[in-house]
């Protein structure tokens, strides 16, 4: 089985990923991904909707478009795909909610955000993280920052360690961005030449330079918001705390697994160590360059 490096982990996966494989010899994987195929003739269960279940064995995620994913102790993911499931959908779910659950089980605070390295040419780089709801332009913004020389560190799934280091650090993720066709075009790509990220959604998959897998200190966090004019406002501790609680990728798991106290402690430690800003912007692709300039100046 091939190996991959992402989120600070050495991942060995029986399911082939569209990520660069890692050259590894005689190493033990941090996360093992395997596939289980039902015996021929086994009836396919009829389940009408997606669901999550938490039990003594870990977390079970089920998707009507892909199958089931059992995540245990942050060290193993077992996929049981439905017959005919599209591999792109399986990979999308595996590298999104499933890997987020595994990182949560390993003690990370997993934010629903994208990130860039603020000083890629420096010997002392740091990370800027952009959090927000789906569709608010996180991937487009970090893609535009990439064109200004910033290195993409994560897209959509951003794990942070707040306990094991002197300052909170993020664990760099995958070498890809998921972009709507019009956003890809605004960033200089021909969307017709980019693969579709997953079925039935027109988002495109844009490969980028693979980030370093070393932990990177977090310099700042920006909460994306909409307004008439671009501006950046500092957020108070309480407001920032609630923003991070709400924009944690694994909020449903936190509720079901009764880990809210630990989750709150992680969010509080993060906002007391790292400045959090509200990034208000007039969202239009025509205004993207001005927005990037504003963010770039704030990070100097």
Instruction: Going residue by residue through the chain, which has 300 residues, state the pLDDT in tens, using 9 for 90 and above.
Output: 888 999 999 999 999 998 877 777 667 899 999 999 876 666 666 666 888 888 888 899 999 889 999 999 999 999 999 988 999 999 999 999 999 999 999 999 999 999 999 876 666 889 999 999 888 889 999 999 999 999 999 999 999 999 777 789 999 998 899 999 999 999 999 999 999 988 888 999 999 988 888 899 999 999 999 888 899 999 999 999 999 999 998 777 777 777 888 899 999 999 999 999 999 998 888 889 999 999 999 987
The residue ranges of every structural domain in the chain are: 3-105, 109-298
CATH code for residues 109-298: 3.40.50
Classify burial at 96, counting beta carbons within 10 Å of its beta carbon; exposed 0-12, middle 13-18, buried 19 or more: middle
Burial 229-249 (b: 16+ CB within 10 A, else e): ebeeeebeeeebbebbbebbb
Give 90-140 pLDDT, tens digit per residue.
Answer: 999 999 999 999 999 999 999 999 999 987 666 688 999 999 988 888 999
Rounded to whole angstroms, how far apart are CA atoms 165 and 40?
49
């Amino acid at each position: 089985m091939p190996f991959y490096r992402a989120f600070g982990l050495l991942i060995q996966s029986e399911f082939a990923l569209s990520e660069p494989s890692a050259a590894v010899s005689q190493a033990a994987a941090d996360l093992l991904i395997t596939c289980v195929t039902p015996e021929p003739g086994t009836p396919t269960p009829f389940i009408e909707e997606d669901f999550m279940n938490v039990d003594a064995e870990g977390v079970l995620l089920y998707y009507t478009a892909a199958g089931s994913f059992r995540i245990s102790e942050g060290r193993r993911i077992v996929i049981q795909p439905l017959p005919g499931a599209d591999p792109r959908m399986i990979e999308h779910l595996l590298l999104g909610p499933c890997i987020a659950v595994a990182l949560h089980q390993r003690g990370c605070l997993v934010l629903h955000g994208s990130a860039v390295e603020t000083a890629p040419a420096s010997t002392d780089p740091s990370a800027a993280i952009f959090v927000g709801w789906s569709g608010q332009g996180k991937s487009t913004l970090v893609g535009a920052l990439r064109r200004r020389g910033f290195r993409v560190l994560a897209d959509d799934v951003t794990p942070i360690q707040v306990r094991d280091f002197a300052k909170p650090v993020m664990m760099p993720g995958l070498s890809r961005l998921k972009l709507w066709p019009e956003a890809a075009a605004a960033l200089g790509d021909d969307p017709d030449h980019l693969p579709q990220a997953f079925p039935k959604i027109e988002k495109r998959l844009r490969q980028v330079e693979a980030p370093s897998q070393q932990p990177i200190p977090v310099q700042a966090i920006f909460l994306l918001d909409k307004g008439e004019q671009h501006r950046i406002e500092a957020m108070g501790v309480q407001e920032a705390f609630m923003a991070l609680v709400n924009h944690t990728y694994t909020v449903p798991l936190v509720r079901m697994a009764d880990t809210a106290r630990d989750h709150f402690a992680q969010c509080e430690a993060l906002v007391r160590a790292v400045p959090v800003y509200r990034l208000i912007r007039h969202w239009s692709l025509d205004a993207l360059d001005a927005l990037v300039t504003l963010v770039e100046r704030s990070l100097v």
